[in-house]
Amino acid sequence: MHENKGKYTMTDEELHEYLLNRPEAWLDYPFGDDVRVYKVRKKMFATLGWENGLARTNLKCDPDHARALRQLFTGVLQGYHMNKRHWNTVLLDGSVPGSEIELMVDHSYALVVKTLPRKERTHIEVTHGSDNIYRALKPSIAPAHR
């Protein structure tokens, strides 16, 4: 992360690395070379694209949390080309601290892992640790262990 106006923000390449460092994350290009799509198993948890030279990422989010983030940060908008209730677009324009972007990525990733079929979800939880997978979620949101 680099400093910008006294805040630490995140570049598109730093975000790219952070996204790929989530357990079992991989990169796909189903919408063409202009939009990077980050998936866990076959489910998307983030996109990274550019418009007019500005990087932006789409991240899945709990609807109430999504609204709160939009009110808190000018660089967090309703999901661009996504379900606006469940996705936010985060502009990498320096208005959102990098640590907040990391939390949003972790939240998105955890929400998606939580919806995976039980066998796939359990494999990821056991291999990488539930605490690591669900670190950005409230305990009540994480799936119950069966």
Tens-place pLDDT, residues 77-125? 988 777 667 899 999 999 999 999 999 999 999 999 999 999 999 999 9
Q: Where are the domains of the chain?
A: 2-42+53-84+98-133
- Please give the pLDDT value at position 6: 46
2-42+53-84+98-133: CATH topology is Aspartate Aminotransferase, domain 1 (3.90.1150)
- Residue 111 confidence (pLDDT): 96
Find the radius of gyration of the CA atoms of the chain. Answer: 15
Write down the pTM of the prediction.
0.88
Q: What is the DSSP string of the chain?
A: -EEETTEEE--HHHHHHHHHTSTTEEEE-TT-TTEEEEEETTEEEEEEEEETTEEEEEEE--HHHHHHHHHH-TTEEEPTTS-TTTEEEEE-SSSS-HHHHHHHHHHHHHHHHHTS-HHHHHHHHHHH-HHHHTTTS-TTTSPPP-
pLDDT value at 9 more than 70: yes
Is the pLDDT higher at 145 or at 107?
A: 107
